Structure 1
């Protein structure tokens, strides 16, 4: 299924009962992308690539310019980052007191990320973080609303990875319910490990599609080799996230690490949720 173009998606959004009041084509620095207005806030997208460094047989290095990012191997996909401009705290998702506002802001950001990913026909998978409070605000059928929106606009839920926070992964029963619910509505699911030992429990209650672990924490605790081996036995791809510098990247290369992401690969880093 080929998604409509970005202008087509935005034009169709104008007729949507919720998105129509907020989503538009951006101007000036946001020209050529979809943005959403929510009160005085402007919501836009940035993307952090997730590289499969195992696709190249030669050693990877960061000694060259980061602009030549394609040398790291194939892209598994991208992590969406929510950029918010306006009079807002650093984490408006965490500071909103009204759960209904939190849900509205989250649904807008997901729609904008999906439009800016599918509209230009980007390859690979779109990883979308979900806020812990949102998981608690929505009582059941997690994934139903977003799946219906994607399908309505001609975008495939199967190319979207819902990324669960560490707090959700730490609770096995809740993790199992969330994973099955999102997968039922066509999504893939990734779980952020709160610690290395949690990987031993991820298959008990839920069959995650991806596991994510903070690279700095894994290297600090000397558990990279253990994590890679256990993930291999589970047959679940393991992504080391938040790789911040060349030293961390080189340290990971000592092991059979395949998937990496982080600000070290971005020549022009941005900050967002």
Structure 2
């Protein structure tokens, strides 16, 4: 089966009124990608790589050439990032910051996830796509989390199994809630990642539904000398552990000392992909 293109996916999105009102093919330098309009602002997609650095046993240092960080691993997947144009360039943008109405936020959250999925899968990108879900959406939708988005993707001819729904730390901190969310999203074909609010929270994961991935802020783990125990416990759980927000070469080289496998963050900015 031939995968649908970005333009074909944008055309299919017209079947959904809210998407039809806000999603379109871009113009000018963005003519090959989908864009979304939110409160008069054009939203764009970018993707931050998540590297599996275990595939290169010869990794030694990033200090010599940060611009070639991508050579240190294969991509497990990519984290979607929302951008807007500003002063002739693009900058990260939070479209939910001024949204006070929960129903509007739910619609915006779904629109942004659809935008990033269309641009990623429509461009036949490899790997998994990690999509953050807003905390207020999780609380506003009362049940069947993932049902609507799964139906949209299937109607587009896309596989929900390529998508990792990334839960915020505030949700992961509540054991019963994160267990319900994980089961619900997985029931509709998605994979689920949970951001740890702190290193100690990993001790509760065995009592939760089985997360597919766990993410931890590398800066906090290094500061609290928790990298080694985190890696050890995650290995026992057999849940892949991703250290994110790796800010510089020094942090990366410290992580290498503890058999860390998956990393992402600003230090790999040279490998970021935009569409």
Shift of 1:65: 4.0
Shift of 1:155: 0.9
Q: 1:59 to 1:85 in 2, by over 3 A?
A: closer
Q: Does 1:19 align with 2:19?
A: yes
Which residue in the other structure is 1:73 paired with? Answer: 73
Shift of 1:42: 1.5
Which residue in the other structure is 1:57 paired with? Answer: 57
Contact 2:182 2:210 in 1 (8 A): yes
Contact 2:59 2:72 in 1 (8 A): no
Q: Which runs of 5+ in 1 are unaligned?
A: none
Q: Does 1:231 align with 2:240?
A: no
Q: Does 1:264 align with 2:271?
A: no
Which residue in the other structure is 1:159 paired with? Answer: 162
Q: 1:69 to 1:121 in 2, by over 3 A?
A: farther
Q: 1:49 to 1:60 in 2, by over 3 A?
A: farther
Contact 1:263 1:269 in 2 (8 A): no
Query: Map of 1:48-197 to 2, 5 A cutoff?
Result: 48-84=48-84, 91-197=94-200
Which residue in the other structure is 1:248 paired with? Answer: 251
- For the aligned residue pairs, the C-alpha RMSD in angstroms reads 1.9
CA distance in 1, matches of 2:45, 2:149: 17
Q: Does 1:37 align with 2:40?
A: no
Alignment TM-score, normalising by the size of structure 2: 0.92
Shift of 1:268: 8.1
Contact 2:69 2:271 in 1 (8 A): no
Q: 1:250 to 1:75 in 2, by over 3 A?
A: same
Shift of 1:180: 0.2
Tell me whether 55-64 or 129-138 shows the greater mean CA deviation.
Answer: 55-64
Query: Aligned pairs, how many?
Result: 268
Local SS of the residue matching 1:183: helix
Local SS of the residue matching 2:118: helix
Shift of 1:203: 1.9
Which residue in the other structure is 2:28 paired with? Answer: 28
Deviation string for 1:10-59 (max 9, x for gaps)? 12223433312211111224231110113312121111000000111112
Q: 1:105 to 1:49 in 2, by over 3 A?
A: same
Q: Which runs of 5+ in 2 are unaligned?
A: 87-91
Deviation string for 1:115-159 (max 9, x for gaps)? 011011000000001111111111111000100111100111001
CA distance in 2, matches of 1:65, 1:20: 44
CA distance in 2, matches of 1:60, 1:178: 39
Local SS of the residue matching 2:12: helix
Shift of 1:95: 3.2
Which residue in the other structure is 1:216 paired with? Answer: 219
Local SS of the residue matching 2:267: helix
Contact 2:49 2:272 in 1 (8 A): no
CA distance in 2, matches of 1:64, 1:29: 33
